[in-house]
Amino acid sequence: MHMIKLIVEGLGLGALLVLICAAGIRNGAVGMVHLYDKKVQERVIQLGMTTREAIRKRSARFRSLCLPAYMAYVLVCVYAINGARGFLPGFRQGFVILFIYAPALLPSGQAPAAPRWNP
């Protein structure tokens, strides 16, 4: 039963990330350049593909919409799927989920194992 819950959590997170990425790149890959390293952002600006202001707006929109959706997903996993009762069991499970999955949402400059793009 635990394995089924884990699979459901993983599939849900995968679907959430696909939706976020699809929405972010719907008008081109530059739409999610705010998740890349500053050097990549500067190169994209230099090539005239976007502006610093557009990157700032996209970054703010990402933080205000996508991260709360991710936190809500974690709460659904902990309390609805896993059936945690009370604060401490919920906190522990939420911490583990965030510890495992959060690096997928960090900008590449902050995730130590993320690949670097060199123009």
pLDDT digits (tens, 9 = 90+) for 23-64: 888 888 888 888 888 899 999 999 999 999 999 998 898 888
Q: Is residue 53 part of a domain?
A: yes
Q: Is residue 80 part of a domain?
A: yes
Q: Is residue 119 part of a domain?
A: no
Convert the pLDDT of each residue in 81-106 to its tens digit: 888 899 999 999 888 888 876 665 55
Q: Is residue 72 part of a domain?
A: yes
Q: Is residue 115 part of a domain?
A: no
SS3 15: helix
Q: Is residue 32 part of a domain?
A: yes
Domain around 58: 11-102
Q: Is residue 109 part of a domain?
A: no
Query: Has residue 65 got a pLDDT over 60?
Result: yes
Read off the pLDDT band of 111 (50, 70, 90): very low
Note whether 116 and 108 are within 8 A (CB). yes
Q: How many domains does the chain have?
A: 1
Query: Has residue 112 got a pLDDT over 70?
Result: no
Q: Is residue 16 part of a domain?
A: yes
pTM above 0.75, yes or no: no
